[in-house]
Amino acid sequence: MQCRATLPGWFGVGTALGEYLQSNPEGLSMLREMHAQWPFFQSVLENAQMVLAKADMDIARRYAELVPDKELGREIFNRIKGEFDLTVQMVCQVAQVKEPLEKEPLLAESIKRRNPYIDPLSFIQIEVLKRLRANPVGPERQELEDAILMTINGIAAGLKNTG
């Protein structure tokens, strides 16, 4: 959650839905019927929409840039971004919306209004992580650790998830 990818809430959903649709010609109507009539499946897709809306791939990319092996960091991020895009597409197609949370405008607006306060905390956290990694035993170690804890708490509170 802290890196703003929110992976546990959506990763793999797009691939699963896409593979089901590829192997079942009438699959889209079946998934839409499941979404309309089965509360569990509806909840799964609604939760996926919520965490997709909280995700920020630009910020997630900045966290991925912290990986010492730059090529590996880019490769992993590109896989995450590809699955993110596919999941948005598949969830919206099944839920019959143009964008996540289209049918939940209050929640969408709440997330949109919180982001300008959460984003700077993410940028601070990234910078503090860089400093900690560059000087893991220096005299400012305790201050950096305190700053990390404050950003963890702030981001978690702003996202309304544990972080």
* pLDDT higher than threshold 80 for residue 103: yes
Phi (first) and psi of residue 80, to 5 degrees = -65, -45
Position 99 confidence tier, pLDDT thresholds 50, 70, 90: very high
Which whole number is the average pLDDT over 28-47? 97
Give the pLDDT score at 163. 44
Q: Taking a C-beta distance cutoff of 8 angstroms, is the pair 117, 101 a contact?
A: no
Residue 137 has what pLDDT? Answer: 86
Q: Quote the pLDDT of residue 162.
A: 55
**Separation between Cα atoms, residue 134 and residue 100, nearest integer Å:** 38
Question: Could you give the dihedral angle defined by the CA atoms of residues 20, 26, 31 and 37, in that order, rounded to the nearest 10 degrees?
Answer: -150
Average of pLDDT values for 140-150?
Answer: 93
Q: Where are the domains of the chain?
A: 7-159
User: Is the pLDDT reported for residue 21 higher than 90?
Assistant: yes
Q: What percent of the chain has pLDDT above 90?
A: 87
Mean pLDDT in residue range 72-81: 97
Confirm whether pTM is higher than 0.75.
Answer: yes
